[in-house]
Amino acid sequence: MAGRVVLITGAAQGLGLATARLAAACGASGVCLVDRDGDKGAAAAAELSESCECLFVRCDVKSPAEISAAVEAADARFGRIDALVNAAGDTRRAEIDETTAALWDELHAVNLRAPFLFTQAVARIMRRQGRGGAIVNVASVQANGGLTSCMAYAASKGGLLTLTRNNAAALGRDGIRVNALNMGWCSTANEHALQLSLGQGEDWLKQADRASTLGRICRPEDVASAILFLLSGAHTTGSVLELHPEHIPGMLGAGIGKAK
């Protein structure tokens, strides 16, 4: 990442912030943090400013106008954007009979339309620079079908995988690589709050780790490492990197997903 500028959405906390920290540690010259949480975003920017030039832009990614303004602010500050990470996501749950049109639209606005709009705007800058670039979309194993309680979320992530492949084909001749990370269960502050709201005990993480093939589910730092691998020069585009040690596709057995 030496000398490169990266824009990260959903960067005020969780895996977005972990990615920003690792990008700075790997030599990024500039990091643009995009998030709707002004307080956490400002705190994250203050922390990262000790390692590299950092800009925080408050942005509701459901708003096309705010997305355009965020990319313009990054371009004005750094004069370039070399990498984009679409990490912002809405994970709200609802069964099919509980899913309203409004919830469906909001989930797709955050999880699918926003990555498209950020990619569209950033790709124009990358083309102008003529140096190529790298884009990583954070998807989910639920894109393969998912929990019934995550129908709208799963559909939006399935669309994100298709968007990734289509954009990879469209931008490849410009030297812009577009890949996705198909991640699974990750221990974050938001996930902890969700598990408690679903009636799980404080020890849910210990149980999840015990059931995982590799002995623990993902942490934000694991996700950040995979994202940086895809950003750093891996000669691939339109690829989906699987990152869900709690679930091995096609396998049935002990642990999470055990057939009943």
Instruction: Specify the pLDDT at position 257.
Output: 45
For 221, the 3-state DSSP assignment is helix
DSSP state of 94: B
Residue with tokens 């203050």, as numbered in its chain: 46
pLDDT band at 234 (very low <50, low <70, confident <90, very high): confident
pLDDT above 80 (res 239): yes
- Predicted confidence (pLDDT) at residue 219 exceeds the cutoff of 60: yes
Give this prediction's pTM.
0.91
Is the pLDDT at 258 greater than 50? The verdict is no
Active site residue 153: yes
Spatial contact of 61 and 67, defined as CB atoms under 8 Å apart: yes
Q: What pLDDT, on a 0 to 100 scale, did the predictor assign at position 132?
A: 97
Q: Which domains does the chain have, with CATH numbers?
A: 5-242 (3.40.50.720)
Q: Which of 32, 153, 154, 181 is catalytic?
A: 153
Question: Token match 């959405």: residue?
Answer: 9
- The pLDDT of residue 29 is above 80: yes
Contacts 24+ apart (CB under 8 A), 143-151: 143/182, 144/249, 147/93, 148/95, 148/96, 149/93, 149/94, 149/95, 150/91, 150/93, 151/94, 151/95, 151/96, 151/99
Banded model confidence at residue 124, pLDDT cuts 50, 70, 90: very high
**pLDDT reported for residue 146:** 87
Compute the mean pLDDT over every residue in the chain, rounded to the nearest whole number. 92
